Amino acid sequence: MKRTMIALAATVVALLAVGVPVFAHHSFSAEFDSKQQVELQGFVTKVEWTNPHVWFYINVKDPETGRMTNWGFEMGPPHGLQAQGWQRETMKLGDEVRVNGSRAKNGSNKVNARNVILVKTGKKMGTASSEGDPNQQ
């Protein structure tokens, strides 16, 4: 009986430990501000095709200073992107892209991407963003 209780307690603890990351996932409004819309263009430096969000990074040139800044863009989960026609190879290192979305509340160079335009082909792709309609309050 004592072994059964210990095994049951260990199972409960293990299940709770596995479930904690699910609850730690943030909402759009916790990190991004839909009132801070940006549109940036640059060249892809990194793509992280992982759960819970796909991230990509581009170098953006400041037109006034000529200085390059690296920006990170959060998209939806891989399965959400695949449902919109994305594949891992859709965006490659060195591709030029134009992105619009909502900037991070803390002013860092992070954006929740709403859509991506692949400059070479002109193809506009949705990003399975968690933002929803940015015009809704």
pLDDT value at position 30? 74
* 130 band by pLDDT with thresholds 50, 70 and 90: confident
Query: What integer is the mean pLDDT of 86-91?
Result: 95
d(CA 37, CA 49): 24
- CATH of 28-126 given 3.90.660.10, 2.40.50.140, 1.10.150.120, 3.60.15.10: 2.40.50.140
> Average pLDDT, stretch 119-131?
91
Cα–Cα distance, 58 to 101 (Å, whole number): 14
**pLDDT tens digits along 13-60:** 444 444 444 444 457 777 899 999 999 999 999 999 999 999 999 999
**Tokens 């801070």 correspond to what residue?**
36
Mean pLDDT value across residues 92-114: 96
pTM (two decimals): 0.76
Q: How far is CA 106 from CA 41, 111, 113, in A?
A: 21, 11, 16
Written as one string, the DSSP assignment of 19-47 is HHHHHHPPPHHHHEEEEEEEEEEEEEEEE
